[in-house]
Amino acid sequence: PRSAFRREFSVPIERFQDHEATERLRRLVRPFILRRHKRDPTVIQDLPDKFEQKVFCNLTREQATLYEAIVQSGMSALPAGENGVAMQRRGLVLAMLTRLKQVCNHPALFLGDGSEIGQRSGKLNRLTEMLEEILEVGERALIFTQYAQMGYILQNHLQDTFGQEVLFLHGGTPQRHRERMLDRFQNGSDAPSIFVLSLKAGGTGLNLMRANHVIHFDRWWNPAVENQATDRAHRIGQSR
């Protein structure tokens, strides 16, 4: 019964860190659990090496101007003094950081005005160059962003640039469409080479090892979330 489980295991383990109860529970459930870690010798032999690289990009003149304006405006809005304003300062700083991240992605994301994409973002320009090299050798890429609107910008820009379909999976994608999109990318003979995903919607539970490049267009505050997203491609079955 639940009451017995709570008395024998939950309370001793969670509240008192009882190692004996922990070991007893582990012995009971072990026969029913099959789990493999990538660090296990039998698994790591089946996976190719994962190479990680940070790519640094310069801001365009427009981005730099917006960036400086946001910093100046944000700093002048911060309340002076320490009494009772810590939470207010924290909220203003976090809001400023969010706006700065959006500017670094693309001015159109920050402005939200539906303006043309053009050559306005150093990061997007560099991404386009990287994808040119990837497509030239017939390989596939996943691109993660935390902003759904940035995903639409990427999808439209890359489709126009390369003249081919680009998939985009986000939190609002209907389940049926989502499954069809994933199956097509993984198994379809006509599968697009570029798959844009929002980090929250596509960061866990997917097998997309047909891609052998994973690009994080913007960074998440928790590296573990980024690692989980990268592992959509770095899985058993990946050979490149």
- The answer to whether residue 236 scores a pLDDT higher than 90 is no
- Considering the chain, what percentage of its residues have pLDDT values greater than 90? 74
Residues 143-157 as b or e (16 or more Cβ within 10 Å = b)? bbbbbbbbbebbbeb
- Express each pLDDT in 139-190 by its tens digit: 999 999 999 999 999 999 999 999 999 999 999 999 999 999 999 999 998 8
pLDDT for the residue numbered 34 = 77
What one-letter code names the amino acid at 90? R
- Express each pLDDT in 9-49 by its tens digit: 999 998 888 999 999 999 999 888 877 666 777 666 778 88
Rounded to two decimals, the pTM is 0.81
Identify whether the C-beta of residue 217 lies closer than 8 Å to the C-beta of residue 154.
yes
Burial class (CB in 10 A: 0-12, 13-18, 19+), 27: exposed
**What is the DSSP secondary-structure string of 35-64?**
---TTSHHHHTTS----------PPPHHHH
Residue 240 token pair: 């490149």
* Element of type H or E holding 103: helix 86-105
